[in-house]
Amino acid sequence: MGGFATCLTPYNIWMALLGCLLGTLVGILPGLGPSATIAILLPITFGMDATPAMIMMCAVYYGAMYGGSTTSILVNVPGESSSVITAIEGHQLAMQGKAGTALGLSAIGSFIAGILGTIGLVAAAVPLAEFSLQFGPADFFSLIVMGMLTIIFVGGKSIPKSLMSAVIGLGLGCVGTDIVEGKDRFTYGIAELLDGIDFVVLVMGTFGIAEVLVSAEEFMKVEPIKVKFRELFPSPREIFQVRWAVLRGTIIGFIIGVLPGAGPTIASFVTYGVEKSLSKTPEKFGTGVLEGIAGPESSNNAATSGAMVPMFALGIPGSGATAVMLGALILYGLKPGPMLFVENADFVWAVMASMFIGNVILIIMNLPMVPLFASLLRISYALIYPAILIICVIGAYAISTGLFDVGMMLIFGIAGYFMKRADIPPAPMLLALLLGPMMERALYQALNLSHGSMMTFITRPISGALLAISLIMSIAVGTKAVKRARAMVKDDQN
C-alpha cells in the first residue's frame, strides 16, 4: 500500500501519463522502439528523482505494446516487432470493416494481461529476490551464462549469428579499464573510452539510427483505415469468446518474459502458435480470427511485466528495454538485484504500483483516442524520421555533453544497419555488453574466493544446477541443429 501512496502523488501520476503517451506514440510510429526511446529519455531524466523517472520509463515500455497494435491493424505495418502477429490477423479484420473490434479486443486483452502480469511481477519478484540473496559470485556467473545462452538461442533466426552478435558484445564490454589490474583495454589513449562504451550509445545507434535508416530506404506512404469512435467497442459476445485466449496469452507471455532475452516479440509468436494449434478451425488463422489477435496482444503485454522480474529481483535484464532500464537503475545510484528490495523497497513498490495505474491510463487513453492516434499516421514519414534522428543526437550528446558519444552512436548506427540487412540480431550484442563486465567480475570474485578452483562452479548447488540447465539447453539446441543439417544434406543428395 506504501507503493500506491508514493505513486499516487500528482507528479508521479503525471510521469506515468507522460510515459504512457510517449510509449503509445512510439508504438504507433514505426522507426523508433521502446528500447531506443528509453535510452533517449535517460540523459534527459538525469536530474530527476529515480522513482518518477523509472515510472515514466516502465510506462513507455508497456505503452508501446498498446500502441503497436494500432498501426498493425489500421495500416498493416507493425509499429513494434511484437505486433507483427497483430498485423497478420488484425488488418484482415479491419479490411472486413471490423477495425474497431480488433482495436478494442487488443486494448482489452492488453489491459487484462497488464494487470495480471503486474500481479505476477509482485508475486514472483519478492520470493525470487529473497532466494537470490543466497547467491554468491559463482552462482551469479552461472546465472549470467544461462541468461546469455537463452538470449542466443531465442535471439534470432540463426544461432551462429546470434552467438556472433553476443561475442562481439562481450568484446565491446572489454573496452575500458579492467577490474583486475586497472589496465586500459582497447582505449588507445582515448580518454572518453576509459569508462567503457556506454550502452545508451549502442542502443540509440543500433535500435534508433539503424531502424530509421532501414525505414528511410523507401519513401513510406501510409493510408490508415478509418475507424469511428462508436465502432471501437467489441460486443460482450466477442469479449467472452476470447477469454481463454487472453488468459493463455497472459500466462505464456509472463513466463516467456521472465526468460532473459526472450521478450514480447517471442511471446506473441509462441502464443499465436498455441492458439492456432488449440483452435477447432486452424485453417481460418490468417483471415481475421479474434483469438489470433487477443492472445498475442495479451501475451506481449504480460511479457513486459515478466521481463521486469529478473531485472528487479536478480539484476539481469529480461529484454532489450529492461537492459536499458537496468542501466538506468545503475546510473541513478541504485543497485539492481535482491538488495534493491532491502535498501530501496519504497522505490520498487512505487514502480510496481504505478504499473497498475499505467494500465488503467492506457485503456482509457487507447480506446477513445484511437481515431486521434490513427490520424498521426497520416503525417508523412519524411517529417518524422528527421525528428527521430535529431532526438537521438540530443540524447547521445547529453550523456557526457560531448560529441564523442554522438560519433560513436553514428558508427554503431551504420553497423546496426548492415547487421539488420545481414539478419544479425543486435539484441544479443546489447545484452552481452551489459552482462559481459558483470560476468567477468563474477568470475574474478568466484575464483578469488575459491583460490582459483574451478570446482566451485559445480560444487555450489545453485551454480551447478544453473550450469546443468545451460548444458541441457545447449545439447537440445545442438541436437536439433545437427538433425536439421543432416536432413538438408540428405535432401541435397536426393
Partner 1 sequence: MRKADRIFGVIGLGLSLWCYLESRKFHYLTDFTPGPGFMPFWVGVVLALLSCYLLYDTFRRKPGKEDDVKILPNKHALYRVGFIFLTLFGVLIIMPLLGFPITVCLFVAVILLSLERYSIPKSIGYGVAYAAVTWLIFEYFLKMGLPKGFLGI
Per CB under 8 A, the list member of 1, 221, 283, 422 interacting with partner 1 is: 422
User: What's the min distance (Å) between Cβ of 359 and partner 1?
Assistant: 28
Could you tell me the three cell numbers for 451? 583460490
Quick check: 212 binds partner 1 (CB under 8 A)? yes
The answer to whether residues 207 and 426 touch, using CB atoms and an 8 Å cutoff, is yes
User: What's the min distance (Å) between Cβ of 57 and partner 1?
Assistant: 16
User: What's the min distance (Å) between Cβ of 405 and partner 1?
Assistant: 11
User: What's the min distance (Å) between Cβ of 451 and partner 1?
Assistant: 5
Separation between Cα atoms, residue 336 and residue 355, nearest integer Å? 18
Quick check: 441 binds partner 1 (CB under 8 A)? no
Segment near partner 1 (CB under 8 A), from 56-64, 240-248, 437-445, 455-463?
437-445
Per CB under 8 A, the list member of 5, 403, 476, 481 interacting with partner 1 is: 403
Task: Select 225 or 398, whichever has its Cβ closest to partner 1.
Answer: 398
**Lookup result for grid cell 488484425:** 90
What does the chain come to in residues? Answer: 494
Task: Select 239 or 443, whichever has its Cβ closest to partner 1.
Answer: 443
Quick check: 410 binds partner 1 (CB under 8 A)? yes
User: What's the min distance (Å) between Cβ of 164 and partner 1?
Assistant: 5
Segment near partner 1 (CB under 8 A), from 79-87, 328-336, 408-416, 471-479?
408-416
Per CB under 8 A, the list member of 243, 282, 423, 483 interacting with partner 1 is: 423
Identify the CA nearest to 120 among candidates 303, 321, 315: 303
Quick check: 15 binds partner 1 (CB under 8 A)? no
CB burial of residue 277 (10 Å; 0-12, 13-18, 19+): exposed
Query: 176-177 and 184-185 as β-strands: parallel, antiparallel, unpaired?
Result: antiparallel
Segment near partner 1 (CB under 8 A), from 8-16, 84-92, 104-112, 395-403?
395-403
- Specify whether the backbone of 337 is left (phi greater than 0), alpha (psi in -120 to 50) or beta: left
Per CB under 8 A, the list member of 29, 352, 389, 435 interacting with partner 1 is: 389
Segment near partner 1 (CB under 8 A), from 4-12, 240-248, 275-283, 401-409?
401-409
Identify the CA nearest to 36 among candidates 444, 416, 465: 416
List C-alpha distances in Å: 38 to 324, 416, 478: 7, 18, 35
User: What's the min distance (Å) between Cβ of 276 and partner 1?
Assistant: 23
The answer to whether residues 368 and 362 touch, using CB atoms and an 8 Å cutoff, is no
List C-alpha distances in Å: 381 to 60, 212, 220, 390, 393: 21, 10, 6, 14, 18
Per CB under 8 A, the list member of 418, 461, 465, 472 interacting with partner 1 is: 418
Residues 6+ apart with CB under 8 A from 394: 40
Could you tell me the three cell numbers for 320? 532489450
The answer to whether residues 160 and 348 touch, using CB atoms and an 8 Å cutoff, is no
Quick check: 398 binds partner 1 (CB under 8 A)? yes
* Cα 96 versus chain centre, distance: 32
Number of chain residues interacting with partner 1 (CB under 8 A):
61
Q: What is the H or E stretch that residue 184 is in?
A: strand 184-185
The answer to whether residues 346 and 3 touch, using CB atoms and an 8 Å cutoff, is yes
Site map 163..192 versus partner 1, x via CB under 8 A = xx--xx-xx-xx---x-xx-x-xx------
Identify the CA nearest to 39 among candidates 251, 317, 269, 278: 317
Q: Site residues (CB under 8 A) for partner 1?
A: 43-44, 160-161, 163-164, 167-168, 170-171, 173-174, 178, 180-181, 183, 185-186, 209, 212-213, 216-219, 380, 382-383, 386-387, 389-391, 393-394, 397-398, 401, 403, 406-407, 410, 413-414, 417-418, 421-424, 436, 440, 443-444, 447-448, 450-452, 488, 492
